[in-house]
């Protein structure tokens, strides 16, 4: 795999570079009734690569998804508010003096004309990839239409690199490609955790996405104990390996299923406090609706253990920020699902596709 850091910047002078970023951020209505970005961390993560490329004189075309839209165009899932946030951040943090352009279509003639307008060192963000079914279906025709927009492909989206989608695994087969600066860092950090963790190592996995259980089943050799919260204990019945393992502890939920019950929280705390490495992947209660009791108790126990604490995923990060614990975390990965898949296999489909 080629890394952007190994290239001379002059290679990119004038090139149209497609950069897959993960701007899947939460949006919320502001005072003016407009949707605005709640947490800009994922946008910030893309800035080192953007700076490298604009200083090199590249024409930068950004590709991202946002949420899981069910139809072709849905303003709730538009990336337009992200373009606005990116404008502010890029201006302040990397000295970007131009305007970030936003194309309301992701592919097609209109988009092509937007890419033609790009000056050297300018950035264009395209509308949500998932407005097209070809993205998640990894449709080769869709990938080709994306590839037409540029001459080079960079993946700087660790948090979506576990998805076999057109912009993640299809595009790098069609264009010369490289890993972005942030992706490279995430791979290096997680590889050293994977190869050399201090033990005992405890995984605390929450949230609602069932695919986390799939990744967890492949981590039984690596982890010493696996504690499950969120809605995962409710979804575990099909996962025989997890049910049979003595290392796995599905938590008991409160009656309304919004959090772990008190007894589980106390039991889990006792285990976590003895760990030398703790991996946090997902809040263990419905923090979106303000149910922080279990998440607070377990995240605080992880920090109190004095061990190495790793956290992954947008919701986990948001919860840590809200609980004012974020500064005590030793390493933060940008994606929870991607982090677990990487720790299970030592690689991800999006990383393999760059080879």
Binding site for Mg ion (CB under 5 A): 314
Binding partner of residue 233 among Mg ion, ligand 3PG, none, CB cut-off 5 to 8 Å per kind: none
Q: CB-wise, 16 or 42, nearer to ligand 3PG? A: 42
Structure tokens at 199: 């033990």
DSSP letters spanning 150-162: -SEEEE--GGGTT
Minimum distance of ligand 3PG from residue 305's CB (angstroms): 26
The closest alpha carbon to 16, from 65, 58, 74, 64, belongs to: 58
Binding partner of residue 335 among Mg ion, ligand 3PG, none, CB cut-off 5 to 8 Å per kind: ligand 3PG
Q: CB-wise, 59 or 163, nearer to Mg ion? A: 163
Q: CB-wise, 60 or 190, nearer to Mg ion? A: 190
Minimum distance of Mg ion from residue 282's CB (angstroms): 9
The closest alpha carbon to 163, from 335, 343, 346, 355, belongs to: 335
Minimum distance of ligand 3PG from residue 211's CB (angstroms): 8
Distance between CA atoms of residues 297 and 309, nearest Å = 15
Q: Nearest residue to Mg ion, using CB?
A: 314
Binding partner of residue 186 among Mg ion, ligand 3PG, none, CB cut-off 5 to 8 Å per kind: none
Binding partner of residue 285 among ligand 3PG, Mg ion, none, CB cut-off 5 to 8 Å per kind: none
The closest alpha carbon to 130, from 174, 160, 153, 100, belongs to: 160
Q: CB-wise, 37 or 297, nearer to ligand 3PG? A: 37
Minimum distance of ligand 3PG from residue 155's CB (angstroms): 13
Rg, Å, the chain Cα set: 21
Binding site for ligand 3PG (CB under 6 A): 22, 24, 68, 159-160, 163, 314, 335, 337
Minimum distance of Mg ion from residue 313's CB (angstroms): 6
28 within 8 A of 69, measured Cβ to Cβ = no
What stretches of the chain adopt beta strand conformation (E)? 16-20, 27-29, 35-37, 59-63, 101-103, 123-126, 152-155, 177-179, 201-205, 225-228, 248-250, 277-281, 308-312, 331-333
Structure tokens at 335: 């994606």
Neighbours of 259 (CB within 10 A): 26
Minimum distance of ligand 3PG from residue 157's CB (angstroms): 8
Distance between CA atoms of residues 178 and 161, nearest Å = 13
Binding partner of residue 170 among Mg ion, ligand 3PG, none, CB cut-off 5 to 8 Å per kind: none
The closest alpha carbon to 227, from 192, 258, 255, 260, belongs to: 260
Binding partner of residue 181 among Mg ion, ligand 3PG, none, CB cut-off 5 to 8 Å per kind: none
Binding partner of residue 163 among Mg ion, ligand 3PG, none, CB cut-off 5 to 8 Å per kind: ligand 3PG
Q: CB-wise, 111 or 167, nearer to ligand 3PG? A: 167
Minimum distance of ligand 3PG from residue 26's CB (angstroms): 10
Distance between CA atoms of residues 341 and 352, nearest Å = 13
């Amino acid at each position: 795999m080629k890394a952007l850091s190994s290239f001379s910047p002059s290679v990119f002078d004038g090139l149209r570079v497609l950069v897959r970023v993960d701007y899947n951020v939460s949006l919320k209505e502001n005072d003016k009734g407009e949707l605005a970005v709640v947490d800009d961390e994922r946008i910030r993560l893309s800035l080192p690569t953007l700076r490298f490329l604009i200083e090199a004189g590249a024409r930068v075309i950004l590709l991202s998804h946002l949420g899981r839209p069910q139809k072709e165009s849905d303003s709730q899932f538009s990336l337009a508010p992200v373009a606005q946030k990116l404008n502010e951040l890029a201006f302040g943090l990397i000295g970007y003096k131009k305007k970030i352009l936003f194309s309301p279509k992701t592919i097609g003639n209109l988009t092509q004309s937007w890419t033609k307008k790009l000056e050297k060192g300018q950035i264009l963000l395209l509308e949500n990839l998932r407005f097209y079914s070809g993205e998640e279906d990894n449709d080769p025709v869709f990938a080709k239409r994306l590839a037409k927009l540029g001459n080079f492909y960079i993946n700087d989206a660790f948090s979506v690199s576990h998805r076999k989608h057109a912009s993640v695994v299809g595009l790098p087969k069609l264009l010369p490609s490289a890993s972005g600066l942030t992706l490279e860092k995430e791979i290096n950090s997680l590889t050293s955790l994977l190869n050399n963790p201090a033990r005992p190592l405890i995984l605390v996995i929450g949230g609602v996405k069932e695919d986390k259980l799939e990744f967890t089943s492949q981590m039984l050799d690596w982890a010493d104990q696996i504690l499950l919260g969120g809605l995962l204990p409710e979804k575990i019945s099909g996962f025989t390996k997890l049910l049979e393992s003595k290392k796995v502890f599905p938590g008991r939920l409160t009656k309304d299923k919004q959090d772990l019950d008190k007894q589980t929280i106390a039991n889990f705390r006792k285990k976590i406090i003895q760990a030398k490495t703790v991996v946090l992947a997902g809040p263990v209660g419905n923090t979106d609706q303000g149910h922080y009791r279990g998440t607070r108790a377990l995240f605080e126990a992880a920090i109190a253990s004095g061990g190495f604490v790793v956290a992954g995923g947008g919701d986990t990060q948001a919860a840590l920020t809200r609980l004012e614990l974020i500064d005590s975390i030793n390493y933060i990965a940008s994606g929870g699902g991607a982090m677990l898949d990487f720790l299970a296999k030592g690689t991800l489909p999006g990383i393999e596709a760059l080879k």
